[in-house]
Structure 1
Amino acid sequence: MEVSGAGCWVLGLLMLIRIIVSSAACPCSDPALCEPIRDTRDFEVYVFYTRGSNWKNYDWTQVTTVALFGKYDPELMCFAHSKGARLVLKGAVKLEDIVDPEQRSAWVTQQVNLAKSQYMDGINLDIEETVLQHTKEYRALTALVQETTEAFHREIPGSQVTFDVAWSPNCIDLRCYNYTGIADLCDFLFVMSYDERSQIWTECECIAGANAALNATITGYMQFINLNIDPKKLVMGVPWYGYDYTCLQLSETNQCKIEKRPFRGAECSDAVGRQVPYRVIMKQVNSSMTGRLWDDVQKSPYYNYKDSKGQIHQVWYDDPESIALKAAYIRTFALRGIGMWNGDLLDYSNDTIAQQQTKDMWKALIPRPLSRSGVQDDF
């Protein structure tokens, strides 16, 4: 179809107006920062953001992706893009709402449009519901991942679609997902290698233990890989928090007997405990009854303290030593990277001691060769 001179002028004006409007809508001082991140780095460092402005103190020399689990902040988007890091949506939806194909398609379209309007770079699908194999929910979840990935990759060039999974593919918490299919369909899985005691299978007493024991963590990755999932589709998630358990009884060997709290078939669970941020743990451990203790079987630190009512508590957590032991296996298994829940659980204040503690936690994310301690020989 031919366009007249006047028509060309009008078309050109419309295009200019569109560019001006688009530039005005961009919240960044440099409109180029509203362009999606297209480059993918060899090593992924995945951070979950939840609140506040702590993101300004993240170690941006490492960060590659920030998952927005808090309020959208255009300043964060602009800053992340200036560092070459992606900012992605949180994708949470009830399975009952996406079993119907039309509802599922509408949800995906809504997420893509939201990401576009906020100049974001993808989505992290965080769905942790019970799903049994060969059910409509099982099929719908796989379809959701496929349709979300296709839509984002088509509409936002360079965008990233990820899916959060439990520390093992063995139907943890009755999440019996199509792990191989989902891994193939999205960019990678974020493996939540924590809350490993959400189901404590025991024939006797319920005992407090590590949130992310090394043996269990590494076994989980071996199980994923044994399903023929490409290791480059796996990002190791580590916890920047611990669990505070009230001891019904504390033995001489520091075994803390805890209340029974059933969860999805298991008689005991970490639901009886209370999650505690690393920054709080660091303020408490040195003044506790025991100071920092180390469990050489679970490769995890813990300590005991007494509350104002005289009740003894036991706190299990991860610190730079325990995280570094796990991170070393990223090299062993050739995983895609590492990340944490969550980036806002450290102390980013001006306190000199806190600054060093925070620096050490970020540093622990960098995989280093395993020592000659015999840790690797266990596997």
Structure 2
Amino acid sequence: MGGISSHSAAERCAHRMGLYGCPLLLLLLIGASVCWGECPCSDPALCQPIQDTRDFEVYVFHVCGENWKFYDWAHVTTVALFADYEPELLCYAHSKGARFVLTGDVSLKDMVDPDNRSAWITKKVNLAKMQYMDGINLDIEETVLRDTPEYYALTALVKETTEAFHREIPGSQVTFDVAWSPKHVTSRCYNYTAIADLCDFLFVMSYDEPPQIWTECIAGANAPFNQTITGYEEFINIGIDPKKLVMGVPWYGYDRTCLELTEDNKCVLQKMPCQDAEFSDDEDCQVGYSSIMKQVNSSLSGRLWDDFQKAPFYNYKDPNGKIHQVWYDDPESISLKVAYIKTLGLRGVGMWHGDLLDYSDDPIAQQQTADMWKVLLP
């Protein structure tokens, strides 16, 4: 779902955890046991779908491991699963009144055929029912041009998926991930107003945004403040109800190797990546917040602040003597954006992703993690 927006980090994490090493037969057997077995929760009531909707949405993507045990469950409303299915997580989420939803990605080329589309939706609904889940997050980030078969198929997919889930699972939730702006980011020319109307809400991936200064090839913020807020205004200006928008914030940053570091802390980069619209979405350069916190205090510069982009960064030297610059988001930068949730009347907030913090018993890490959860509440 999100450069980390393609959620490919989930796959890398899953591979490390051995989540994709099971033979197909084993996966089928697991699915069968869920389908034919009893409710996996000690209290059968916890297998009932969540039907209540809270006033403020806190949307969490779970990618791997057992960090979910340490989430701020007092405020979490939805957990979207980008990892292997965990019955224990299902029971725990439901015990806290939080929805536990599937994630779905599919080739739009296949969805042009109504029969293929119907079959895919039926499969997802059945899987959700087998696993006692509460809906689906559609994370489809394909290039789509206006007035193409894929353009209309995508809108139909959202409509039919929402109708099927709402019909088959009372109170279920269908959400759709969108880039930080509706202005055809990376040629995603979707029918945003229709999609927003047809599903429960949009999760706006306000990260992996392009450089604000195209005249210079320099490192910059992952989610610069002014550009991020402008994106929400653009969604609202095309007629989307603010209550259909959840603000996504990044719990990761980008580590860039500098060709040169100027006296005013500009990290000069190679020309070629800066000419690419996907410049900021480089998986090899992505680094999670917990790793950043372990490095920043011992870096060459310590934490620095850019008041134009309203984001922190720092410089460090690698073992080969090369200078790097790391841009990221922390409680200060996130709080500035989250304050606009009330101003704009948005539905809530979420992050990519919930497992990028340090949930260890180290007192400093515990405080850093608590601060990141706390800042999500405007």
- What is the TM-score when the length of structure 2 is the normalising length? 0.88
Q: Give the 5 Å matches for 1:147-226.
A: 147-197=160-210, 200=211, 204-226=215-237
Separation of aligned partners in 2, 1:195 and 1:29: 41
Moved over 3 A (4+): 21-24, 200-205, 260-270
Q: CA deviation at 1:262?
A: 4.8
Q: Relative to 1, partners in 2 of residues 1:207 and 1:269: Cα closer, same or farther, differing over 3 Å?
A: same
| 2:97 is aligned with 1:84 | yes
> Would you say how many aligned residue pairs link Structure 1 and Structure 2?
345
Q: Which one of 333, 336, 354 corresponds to residue 322 of structure 1? A: 333
Q: Relative to 1, partners in 2 of residues 1:100 and 1:210: Cα closer, same or farther, differing over 3 Å?
A: same
Separation of aligned partners in 1, 2:203 and 2:93: 20
Q: CA deviation at 1:271?
A: 2.5
Separation of aligned partners in 2, 1:96 and 1:269: 27
| 2:120 is aligned with 1:107 | yes
Q: CA deviation at 1:268?
A: 4.5
Q: Which one of 266, 288, 298 corresponds to residue 287 of structure 1? A: 298
State the secondary structure of the residue aligned to 1:25.
Answer: coil
* Matching residue of 1:353: 364
Q: CA deviation at 1:25?
A: 1.2
* Matching residue of 1:142: 155
State the secondary structure of the residue aligned to 1:314.
Answer: strand
Separation of aligned partners in 1, 2:84 and 2:61: 12
State the secondary structure of the residue aligned to 1:301.
Answer: strand
Q: Larger Rg: 1 or 2?
A: 1
- What is the TM-score when the length of structure 1 is the normalising length? 0.88
Deviations 1:188-247 (A, max 9, x none): 0000000012xx486544111000010011000000000110000000000000000000
State the secondary structure of the residue aligned to 2:271.
Answer: coil
Higher relative contact order (CA 8 A, sep 6+): 2
Q: Is the 8 A contact 1:66 1:87 kept in 2?
A: yes
* Matching residue of 2:134: 121
Q: Relative to 1, partners in 2 of residues 1:108 and 1:86: Cα closer, same or farther, differing over 3 Å?
A: same
Q: Which moved more, 1:271-280 or 1:307-316?
A: 271-280
Separation of aligned partners in 1, 2:72 and 2:169: 26
Gaps of 5+ in 1: 1-20, 368-379
Separation of aligned partners in 2, 1:79 and 1:153: 23
Q: Is the 8 A contact 1:206 1:268 kept in 2?
A: no
| 2:255 is aligned with 1:244 | yes
Separation of aligned partners in 2, 1:264 and 1:56: 42
Q: Is the 8 A contact 1:90 1:126 kept in 2?
A: yes
Q: CA deviation at 1:260?
A: 3.3
| 2:75 is aligned with 1:62 | yes
Q: Is the 8 A contact 2:208 2:280 kept in 1?
A: no
* Matching residue of 1:74: 87
Task: State, as a whole percentage, how many aligned pairs show the same letter.
Answer: 73
Gaps of 5+ in 2: 1-33
Separation of aligned partners in 2, 1:23 and 1:106: 21
Q: CA deviation at 1:265?
A: 5.8
| 2:58 is aligned with 1:51 | no
Q: Is the 8 A contact 1:260 1:272 kept in 2?
A: no
Letter aligned with residue 50 of structure 2: I
Q: Is the 8 A contact 1:289 1:303 kept in 2?
A: yes
State the secondary structure of the residue aligned to 1:90.
Answer: strand
Q: Is the 8 A contact 2:175 2:202 kept in 1?
A: yes
Q: Which moved more, 1:217-226 or 1:93-102?
A: 93-102
